Structure 1
């Protein structure tokens, strides 16, 4: 299994936006808060905007907000916005996958992995991640962390 950097950064950006809904956040602020490369985040936020998961405002008071309530944004929405398919095999969707002979049962396993992954992602919302972090309390840096 591979979770793309785009999906990870997109989810982290949305959680950051969900934590501070009083004002728009700039890409610079999100990148700094989450330790994400700024140029990469700009591309990711563009994908999120096109998918309606964030909205933007230009100008000195500008930045990004969530495009809809955090309760209505699932990780499945995020992955599909930036990566398209949830799981692919060598870049191809699993739908038409078929193997001959003794490996003929393997595509069903890959599709089951996709189905369960999709279910987990669909059941996990940005709001749920924010609430879980709030319930856990402030994080204490690991020993030796800067």
Structure 2
């Protein structure tokens, strides 16, 4: 899997929002400055997150962006789906929709298994976890394996 710049920026912006005292709105300019995200790109990402009901915009002098839900209820998977679509796709199709001839049919099972594996991590980690720096134990455990850090 390749994590897009869009997903990475979206998650970084949401971490900043979750860290705001009193869930106060924060401007897109401030979010972009804190995380070094280009303003135009961030505006498009925030629009995607608003359509997915992950963030709310507030107009006015004390306006800006804030989370629409408790950060513990927003998963990494929710964010990726909001800005990039399905976690796993095969030439634009969901794995269950791909069809192969008999000899290659096993590939569909590989794509389904990969999606399941990603879900185990991405659906368990919330914005609250990221903002606090505390990953769920099952996810943190995966990072303790030296092999996880090795490029293959």
Query: Is the CA contact (8 Å cut-off) linking 1:18 and 1:126 kept in structure 2?
Result: yes
Offset at 1:65?
A: 0.9
| Distance (Å, rounded) in 2 between the aligned partners of 1:65 and 1:45 | 10
Offset at 1:78?
A: 0.6
| Distance (Å, rounded) in 2 between the aligned partners of 1:107 and 1:127 | 34
Name the counterpart of 2:17: 17
| Distance (Å, rounded) in 2 between the aligned partners of 1:2 and 1:89 | 13
Structure 1 residue runs of 5 or longer lacking an equivalent are 134-146
**Which ranges of 4 or more aligned residues in structure 1 deviate by more than 3 Å?**
none
Offset at 1:132?
A: 1.4
TM-score by length of 1: 0.85
Would you say 1:86 and 2:87 are equivalent positions? Answer: yes
Structure 2 residue runs of 5 or longer lacking an equivalent are 135-152
Name the counterpart of 1:46: 47
RMSD over aligned Cα atoms: 1.3
Would you say 1:2 and 2:2 are equivalent positions? Answer: yes
| Distance (Å, rounded) in 2 between the aligned partners of 1:93 and 1:128 | 28
- Higher share of residues assigned helix: 2
Q: 2:123 is paired with a residue of what secondary structure?
A: helix
Q: 1:7 is paired with a residue of what secondary structure?
A: helix
Post-superposition CA distance 1:14-53 (Å, at most 9, x none): 1110011432100010011111111000000011111111
- The structure-2 alpha-carbon separation of the partners of 1:68 and 1:21, relative to structure 1 and needing over 3 Å to count, comes to farther
Post-superposition CA distance 1:53-110 (Å, at most 9, x none): 1111112211011111111110111111112211111222211222224322111011
